[in-house]
Amino acid sequence: MINVKGTLAVLTGGGDCPGLNAVLNAVVKAALGHGYQIYGIENGFNGLIKNRMKLLTYDDVSGILPRGGTVLGTTNRDNPFKFAHVEPDGSVTYTDESETIVKNLSKRGIETLIVIGGDGSLAIGAQLSRDCGVKVIGVPKTIDNDLPCTERTFGFDTAMAVATEAVDRLHSTAESHHRIMILEVMGRYAGWIALHSGVAGGADVILIPEIPYHLDAVAKKILKRQQEGKMFSIVVVAEGAKPEGGEMTVARIVKDSFEPIRLGGVGNKLAQQLEELTGIEARCTVLGYLQRGGSPTAFDRVLCTRYGVAAIEACIAGNYDVMVSLHNDSIVTVPLQDAGRKPRSVTVDNEIVKAARDIGICFGDEA
């Protein structure tokens, strides 16, 4: 009979993201290699509440490293501390199912829960640790790159690469038709994707949430290019960008979600405004979920593998209630409670912002 050192469980929560399967691949292989057995939980915290989990083997993760999405499934709606139930009459009631989770973990002898997720999932993991005594280890995931306590979240590099390719492709059509081409990218309240892809793709204007823009300044930049004989312009705008004194553009509200406010629409609004101001035809491309899907980049695959192995190493060391983190190109652990702090935003004096300004990229904050 095989001597099992312990029993672990892993879930993927929140939005999908390139690299989730790469982390699962590393977590499962490292756990099994060190003599642990590990359960995979289906559909995030929903699976913990409904007791939907299975023991994972090497075969379950074979070949998944380069695949996008997550083989376990995920959801960004199920908060166990406020779990929604739809009644027969269509009304919604809420219950605290945290004790159900504790019981389901106990039934399987699960000693440690590995939560792969963004701020919402990690905040739930931190609360399970704090209020229910569950041993939790977090792995930072989001294409937005806005989690505190780590220099890089997995998924960001892939999303940035996809956005950069889109900027490259927009250049040719913009130049052919002498248009303003606007690319709207994701990022929530942080401008990391827009900043990196805009610089990498040679955008003329980059608009991010951290630097409110003046429409006149953007139009002035575009008209100046036209006067210099450059008959097209490329604008990369983060979904959370907003004009000075204005508000972010909200696409819709999703009740019962970790993130109820869904941003979107700023690109199309900007296209109409700039066309009216400059007289130059403007078009908007909303990249949307293309940034979240597909195979992760080589950088993300390596980072995911390092994170997954580090999560198991933390288990072996008895280092619980932590999040694995990238710091000075080394993987370290930080308190899980800190992962829910204020999001990490682009600072106005960021070195990449400074470099972009020096090569003439406009951020819309100069009249």
Nearest to 40 by CA among 20, 64, 57, 15: 57
Nearest to 366 by CA among 225, 221, 267: 221
The Cβ-side half-sphere exposure at 255, using a 13 Å CA radius, reads: 8
User: Which pair of structure tokens corresponds to residue 17?
Assistant: 């993201």
Nearest to 110 by CA among 48, 170, 155, 172: 48
**Catalytic residue list contains 59:** no
Q: How far apart are CA 89 and CA 264, in angstroms?
A: 32
Q: How far apart are the first and last CA of the chain?
A: 74
Under 8 Å between Cβ of 76 and 118: no
Which member of 144, 146, 157, 321 is catalytic? 144
Q: Is 202 left (phi over 0), alpha (psi -120 to 50) or beta?
A: left
User: Which pair of structure tokens corresponds to residue 106?
Assistant: 């106990």
Under 8 Å between Cβ of 153 and 20: no
Catalytic annotation, residues:
144
